[in-house]
Amino acid sequence: MTATPPRLVEHTGVPGPTLALTFDDGPHPDSTPALLDVLARHGVRAVFCLWGEHVRQHPEVVRRTVADGHVLGNHSLHHDDLSTWDDERVEADLRATAAAIDAAVPGVAVPWFRAPFGAWGGTPQVAARLGMRPLAWSLAVADWDPPPAADELLERLERGVTPGGVVLLHDGGGDRSATVEAVDRLIPRLLAAGWTFTVPA
């Protein structure tokens, strides 16, 4: 009998007007610290899905991310499409990424895996064997290249958020200054409207 694939997590698991912010493709030497400043100022925790090669290049940013209380995810070593790879190759990639993260922040838990491009294939099963759950999303606002202006991103976020939603954004992979600004403006607006921020459970 074939095992049931792990369920993709697309919801915070918390009822009511809650939201989880998740960020892919970092760490970035400029955008990630700027975003961490924003999150610290507003008292918000988030999930950072890390690109392994970027972790090797900027381990100090990963250390700050963890020190600030955020949660980590494995986002593969080179951001390849893993959906057509065999299990052995996927496992080797995820293990190499995990090793890079562990070298930067020894012993820190990495409970989540997010497939590059959202191309899952058989990766959730492999990730599950390595102790990670597959983290998907309920809202993506396309802040990747070419990045929209902050005003446009803010409008997309405000229009698209739903209670318990998991939002996909990026702190790496290109110029993310508009994302940083949009997040800085979104959080106080939602807090004033009675929302809370959490991480997926």
Residues annotated as part of the active site: 24, 170
Tokens representing 45 are 């925790």
Alpha carbons 201 and 199: distance in angstroms, whole number: 6
Q: How many residues does the chain have?
A: 201
Nearest residue to 127 (alpha-carbon basis) of 78, 167, 75: 75
Alpha carbons 86 and 121: distance in angstroms, whole number: 10
**Residue 136 identity (one-letter amino acid):** A
Cis ω for the linkage preceding 33 (within 30 of 0):
no
Please state, as a whole number, how many other Cβ atoms lie within 10 Å of the Cβ of residue 71: 21
